[in-house]
């Protein structure tokens, strides 16, 4: 399996959260197992399966609540379809859109504000 970790930040203005896109290239016969692993991670918002030329074959939107609640059972028809795709193609690309945890964004904002306040206090002395 060849991982091409291309991280691309994406702003999602509708939810005030940041999403990051990552792309992996896997062998077709590893597609279903890799997708299951990604779904179980919990911070994946969407999976986009592309052929080697970059054409979108399947887009799977995921919600945190559904995955945490055991919705993997509901995705079995999708996984069966992915098995067929994986059987037909030697290589596929998986684009993974992940949501950045709120704590990280908040922590960074707080650190920047603290640093700005410290700098301001230092300059005022």
When pLDDT is averaged across residues 93-107 and rounded to a whole number, the result is: 75
pLDDT one-digit tens code per residue, 40-78 = 777 788 899 999 899 999 888 886 545 554 556 667 777
Angle made by CA atoms 61, 67, 68, in degrees to the nearest 5: 150
Does residue 8 surpass a pLDDT of 50? Answer: no
% of the chain surpassing 90 pLDDT: 12
Q: What is the pLDDT of residue 87?
A: 83
Domain ranges for the chain, please list them: 8-124
pTM: 0.60
Element (H, E) at 18: strand 17-27
């Amino acid at each position: 399996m060849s991982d091409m970790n291309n991280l691309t930040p994406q702003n999602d203005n509708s939810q005030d959260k940041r999403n990051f896109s990552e792309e992996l290239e896997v062998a077709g016969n590893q597609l279903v197992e890799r997708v299951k692993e990604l779904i179980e991670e919990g911070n994946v918002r969407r999976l986009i399966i592309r052929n080697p030329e970059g054409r979108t074959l399947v887009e799977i939107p995921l919600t945190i609540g559904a995955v945490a609640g055991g919705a993997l059972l509901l995705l079995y028809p999708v996984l069966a379809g992915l098995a067929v795709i994986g059987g037909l193609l030697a290589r596929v690309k998986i684009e993974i859109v992940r949501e950045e945890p709120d704590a990280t964004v908040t922590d960074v904002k707080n650190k920047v504000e603290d640093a700005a306040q410290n700098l301001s206090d230092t300059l005022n002395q």
